[in-house]
Chain A
Amino acid sequence: MAKEKPKQATKSNDSDINLKGTFISVMLVGIFILVLWFGSYALFLSR
């Protein structure tokens, strides 16, 4: 949406800041959502 800013303006949001831990954490959340949803759907289908 925003126009890209010259280099120094984006340092803090740069893709090279290390967010590996964050990525792993959110993916675990995502997997939890998938497991709960498919588990519930299986229960729904079995009834």
Chain B
Amino acid sequence: MHLHKFEKIWLVFGMASLVLFLLIIGFAAFWKGTHPQSHIETIDPQNVEAHEAFKPENLGLREVADGKYTVNIVASAFNYDFGTDADGKAVKKIRVPKGSTVLFQITTKDVVHGFQVAGTNVNMMVEPGHVSRLETVMKNTGEFTVVCNEYCGVGHHQMFATVEVYE
């Protein structure tokens, strides 16, 4: 098969660009560990409380070391359970200082949900039987809306929370 000279140059250029993209994301993924969320841990969706992280008293934000936090969440249609505050009220907003390292751990009791801290790279699918887990550094200050971004039923758009990153 005969290729025009320019087509050869174009295809080499195009393929080189693709290889460059793959090298960049491959390097970041395999050397720096920035894979997309791929936590391989299963759980019984009908008994998520059996898992240490999802016991009612362990839900919500916890500072585990200086500048290091864990957030445990149980999703269900149409709510994120971040635990309760001192007054026994459901937590709808968590606050962390800028630059802190936060580990989000979440699972679902019922259907598939999404968990995105909009405006950050925290974006994961939450599926029954699986634990989703992602650690990230909160680089930027601001109020970030947590949204369920996978359709979970007719109340899907009412499933939200807030993460505030302060100076």
A residues adjacent to B (C-beta < 8 A): 1-2, 4, 10, 13-15, 17, 19-20, 22-23, 26-27, 30, 33-34, 37, 41, 44, 46-47
Contacts and interface: CB of A to CB of B under 8 A. Distances in A.
Contacts of B24: 41
Interface in B15-32: 17, 21, 24
A22 B6 contact: yes
A34 B5 contact: no
Given A47-B139, A47-B140, A23 B121 contact: no
B2 A19 contact: no
B1 interface: yes
A17 B2 CA distance: 13
A38 to B, nearest CB: 9
A26 B5 CA distance: 13
A4 B23 CA distance: 36
A41 B13 CA distance: 20
Given A41-B24, A46-B139, A47-B139, A26 B4 contact: no
Given A34-B17, A47-B120, 11 more contacts: A13-B2, A13-B4, A17-B4, A19-B4, A19-B6, A23-B9, A23-B10, A37-B17, A41-B24, A47-B121, A47-B140
B67 interface: no
Nearest to B5: A15
B27 to A, nearest CB: 12
A30 B120 contact: no
Contacts of B153: none
A19 to B, nearest CB: 5
